[in-house]
Amino acid sequence: MKQIGELIQEMIEYYAGDTKRISHFLKVYAYAKTIAELEGLDKEAREILEVTAVVHDIGIKVSERKYNSSAGNYQQIEGPLVADPMLVKLGYDRAFIKRVCYLIAHHHTYHNITEKDYQILVEADFLVNLEEDKASEETIRNVYRNIFRTETGKAILQNVFKIKTTV
């Protein structure tokens, strides 16, 4: 596995001065890494997921400039275009970058999720967004029922938000 620290450093420079965005991707990375390890993802899938977790919102700056919006659909359009050259510069191979860019381009699309790395990325991002957005208990329960699929992600959500859930 390449040194993820180099990518994290690159992203901190990319978001220089924007502590909210830096904290966001670091939290998503930590949750994604934890869920992936506990769900038994293989080494290659974990590496792709961890890199994607770090860069998943990379399109937000361009989206705000270009569309005056940070909406997820714009991030999905612009993110791969920003991530690709950064990952090339850091020495990731083309097939790896293609998968990372696919995940960036879909991380706000919550239907037809069939791959575990994709599912875990969505869960990790939701864990952070629910906290950052100060989501209501009802919203958290709905996300648990409708979005979360991994046992690890469900357990983390229940413990972080101290909620009892029934499906």
Q: What is the pLDDT of residues 17-41, one digit of tens each?
A: 999 999 999 999 999 999 999 999 9
Residues 6+ apart with CB under 8 A from 127: 27, 28, 31, 153, 156, 157, 160
Give CA–CA dist 44/158, Å, rounded: 28
Q: Give buried/exposed letters for 33-45 (b at 16+ CB in 10 A, else e).
A: bbbbeebebeeeb
CB atoms within 10 A of CB 132: 12
Q: Is the pLDDT reported for residue 49 higher than 90?
A: yes
Q: What pLDDT is attached to residue 70?
A: 87
- pLDDT tens string 75-110: 999 999 999 999 999 999 999 999 999 999 999 999
- pLDDT tens string 115-165: 999 999 999 999 999 999 999 999 999 999 999 999 999 999 999 999 876
Residues 6+ apart with CB under 8 A from 20: none
- Work out the average pLDDT over 68-75: 89
Contact 77, 67 (CB under 8 A): no
Q: Is the pLDDT reported for residue 167 higher than 60?
A: no
Q: H helices within the chain, ranges in order?
A: 4-14, 19-38, 43-55, 60-67, 72-89, 94-104, 116-132, 137-146, 151-161
Indicate the pLDDT class of residue 166, thresholds 50, 70 and 90. Answer: low
Tell me the two tokens of residue 26.
């670091």
Largest Cα span, the chain:
46
Q: Is the pLDDT reported for residue 11 higher than 80?
A: yes
What is 4-161's CATH topology? Hypothetical protein af1432 (1.10.3210)
Q: What pLDDT is attached to residue 12?
A: 98
